[in-house]
Amino acid sequence: MYQDYWGLQEKPFENTPDPRFFYRSPATTETFAKLLYALRSNQGGILLTGESGCGKTMLSRSLVNELDPDKTEVALLTSPSPTPTQLLREILYQVGETQLDEDHTEIVHRLNGRLYDNFSLGKTTLVIIDEGQLLEDARLFEEIRLLLNFQLNDAFLITLLLIGQPELGERIRNLPQLDDRLSARGLLRPLERRDVGAYINHRMAIAGRIDPAFTPEAIELISQYSGGIPRRLNYICDLCLVLSYSRQASQVDEEMAYRIILDEEDCRV
């Protein structure tokens, strides 16, 4: 709709986890480096937490993008299963098994065999459980702990990345047997004000525009309104581009940002 007007090849503020748009703030860079090291070192259990909209899924996809696809088998669970057996069956399905047993013990045996086969081929099996805050049944956490028992004397057969909102971390801290098995933890926070402008310009540049499209004053208002949460930033910036285009403005200015923010606040009343 507005791409040609702003000199863009694509929309810069889609709320999808495209690793090309991943912005590495100083704080995010540290978290990314720590978790990537843990993944590449096959260290077992890893935890990533953060408030809703802070970019956990984006960071996880960017981590996977850094791994060798020929040496990594990825099982991505975007919606946690309600029972331990269903959890294991979903993991088996994600790593390529098509014949799925109902018997829990048999599923465990087949999963162990699949993990060992991958290891023998020089491949790491990475299981990502997203939206982990939805895990409430204690049996699921125990099954996750048992997954980390799939190991040889000197190597894990599985790398497990748990992702969720802060309450996931709180639940795990109350489960010492699982908590002690986690080798790395990362916490995503909202962007600092000084990083919001760089975030906006980064996404615009990836989409095709180098020249600034947002005035510093507009960026300051957007930063205040969004609280530095990327999902909110994307939403408000997209609206700014659409409506500034409709007015044939050369930049998104403070007035436009203020009008859009005011409208959003009115809609929430």
**Residue 269 in this model has a pLDDT that exceeds 60:** no
- For helices 230-246 and 216-226, angle between their N-to-C axes, nearest 10 degrees: 140
| Residue at token pair 């919606």 | 79
Predicted TM-score (pTM) of the model is 0.92
More confident residue, 60 or 82: 60
Lowest mean pLDDT among 234-238, 255-259, 260-264: 260-264
Rounded to whole angstroms, the Cα distance separating 133 from 137 reads: 11
Lowest mean pLDDT among 55-64, 90-99, 201-210: 90-99
Rounded to whole angstroms, the Cα distance separating 148 from 43 reads: 10
More confident residue, 191 or 110: 191
- For helices 230-246 and 254-268, angle between their N-to-C axes, nearest 10 degrees: 120
Q: What is the per-residue pLDDT for 98? A: 76
Altogether, the residues listed in the chain come to a count of 269
Contacts of 89 (CB under 8 A, 6+ apart): 81, 100, 101, 107
Domains of the chain: 3-11+192-268 (1.10.8), 42-188 (3.40.50.300)
Q: What does pLDDT average to over the chain? A: 93
pLDDT in tens, 121-146: 999 999 999 999 999 889 999 999 99
pLDDT in tens, 147-171: 999 888 778 999 999 999 999 999 9
Q: What is the per-residue pLDDT for 95? A: 87
**Residue 102 in this model has a pLDDT that exceeds 80:** no
Tell me which amino acid residue 81 is: S
> Mean of the pLDDT values across residues 163-186?
95
Lowest mean pLDDT among 94-103, 173-182, 220-229: 94-103
DSSP 251: S
Of the pLDDT bands very low, low, confident and very high (cuts 50, 70, 90), residue 263 is confident
Q: What percent of the chain has pLDDT over 90?
A: 81
Of the pLDDT bands very low, low, confident and very high (cuts 50, 70, 90), residue 81 is confident
DSSP, residue by residue, 206-264: HHT--S--B-HHHHHHHHHHHTT-HHHHHHHHHHHHHHHHHTT-SSB-HHHHHHHHHHH
